[in-house]
Homo-oligomer: A and B are copies of this chain.
Amino acid sequence: MPQHLELVQSLRDAGHRLTPQRESVLAVIADSDGHLTAEEILARVRQRYPYLNKSAVYRSLDLLTELSLVNQTDLGHGRVEYELHRHPHHHHLICRHCKGVQQIDQAVMNSLHKKLEKDFGFHADLDHFAIFGTCHKCRARAAKSAKRHTH
């Protein structure tokens, strides 16, 4: 069974209706292996199904995210990026200063994930996480110019 039909089945099993809009959005995401913005998804869907409103795209994406079929990631580019929820995941370290993005492995989160599960019964969506901070290059640069708290 093609992947997106399997996903469509998850949708229906969860009690949601299958509309051509939703099916197209899901198919486009399943066909792509990278991140897609909502605008890209809208454009691609319209190639095969031109009757699509942007509200429907956003609403579909929110639903698919809620069902854990899709990941939403804000990499600080001013728009959210969407992709199929896959295993294993990776995460992103994003520098607030130089805007650089560095990919890191899922494994880094394993112990945190377990801890949240154990201590709080909370199932965290730690797949495809965006962590903001300062990369080692920018830290060195900042240390020079900052003479704070030395008075």
Contact = CB atoms under 8 A, between A and B. Distances in A.
A49 interface: no
B133 A124 contact: yes
Chain A contact residues: over half helix, strand or loop, or mixed? Answer: mixed
Interface string A21-54: 0000000000000000000000000000000000
Interface in A91-142: 93, 95-97, 102, 104, 108-109, 111-112, 115-116, 119-126, 131-136, 139
Interface residues of A, number: 41
Q: Which 6 A-B pairs have the closest CB atoms?
A: A121-B136, A124-B133, A10-B148, A123-B134, A13-B148, A125-B133
A10 B149 contact: yes
Interface of A: 6, 9-10, 13-15, 65-66, 93, 95-97, 102, 104, 108-109, 111-112, 115-116, 119-126, 131-136, 139, 145-149, 151
28 contacts: A6-B149, A9-B151, A13-B146, A13-B147, A14-B148, A66-B97, A95-B122, A102-B120, A102-B122, A104-B119, A104-B120, A111-B111, A111-B112, A112-B112, A116-B131, A116-B133, A120-B136, A121-B135, A121-B136, A121-B139, A122-B131, A123-B135, A123-B136, A123-B139, A124-B131, A124-B132, A124-B133, A126-B131
